[in-house]
Amino acid sequence: MADRPGLSEVELLWLIAWNIADGEWSRIDLDQASGRNVLLKFLSALRVDPREAAKESRIGLQQSLMALRQGSFEETQQESPFSRYAERNMKELVRAWMKEGEAGFVRKWAEVFPPGWEANKPKQEPVRIIVDTGDCEGRALEVTGAPDWQTRAGAEWWYLYHTFGKSWKARMHFTSTANEEGARFSIHYIHVFPNSHRRVFFRLPW
């Protein structure tokens, strides 16, 4: 985790937490018992609602990791903050900790990571972008492989961060009404530093 100069200290801590929730503690040189203890101590030290903090950290890390551009769009999605398995585990572990404290957390951990859990870990295919210039309706980008609309919407932002890094700012976003062919578009108006303004079109699947 030390080779992420573009991440803040808080982001690095959350990235560790998400790797643990994903069962990827070997990425951070921990075994399972150590990973459990690190995550428990991390949640215990939070002074904010851990449910909201985890949700916000996941979205923020997805965008920040895309902005680092240390791999392709698809490769970056192998990071734990993109894992739906990690998201489910984190929700269950946080809920157990908030309801029953350490005892509840330890009990839920044993349910989430029972013996042989690795063989049952679901494989997650990356979301993909069918790439065109994206500058108008006729050359709009398309998101494919998203399991739900939240992931599809999030992937638009992932693409913007992966394409422009952090050298841009969102100005406006809206969903168009259907055109003559019945197609609708998600349109992002962005300011690319220092002085470029662009529109980025994504074709919607409905």
Q: Is the peptide bond before 194 cis (omega within 30 degrees of 0)?
A: yes
C-alpha dihedral (83, 84, 85, 86), degrees to nearest 10: 60
Q: What is the pLDDT of residues 115-141, one digit of tens each?
A: 999 999 999 999 999 999 999 999 999
With H, G, I as helix, E, B as strand and everything else as coil, classify residue 147.
coil
- 166 near 179, Cβ under 8 Å? no
On the question of pLDDT at 4 being above 90, the answer is no
| Shared-domain flag, residues 116 and 134 | no
In sequence order, the β-bridge partners of residue 196 are 192
| Shared-domain flag, residues 106 and 21 | yes
**pLDDT interval class at 3 (50, 70, 90):** low
Residue 42 is which amino acid?
Answer: F
Name the residue range of residue 98's domain: 9-120
Assess if residue 2 is contained within a domain: no
| Shared-domain flag, residues 38 and 107 | yes
Strands 196-203 and 141-144: parallel
Q: Which of 120, 141, 173 is the last residue of a domain?
A: 120
| Shared-domain flag, residues 109 and 59 | yes
Assess if residue 106 is contained within a domain: yes
| Shared-domain flag, residues 107 and 152 | no
| Shared-domain flag, residues 116 and 138 | no
| Shared-domain flag, residues 156 and 82 | no
Q: Which of 61, 91, 120 is the last residue of a domain?
A: 120
Q: What is the pLDDT of residues 46-84, one digit of tens each?
A: 999 999 999 999 999 999 999 999 999 999 999 999 999
| Shared-domain flag, residues 42 and 114 | yes
- 168 near 66, Cβ under 8 Å? no
pTM of the model: 0.94
| Shared-domain flag, residues 15 and 115 | yes
The total of structural domains in the chain comes to 2
Residue 49 is which amino acid?
Answer: D
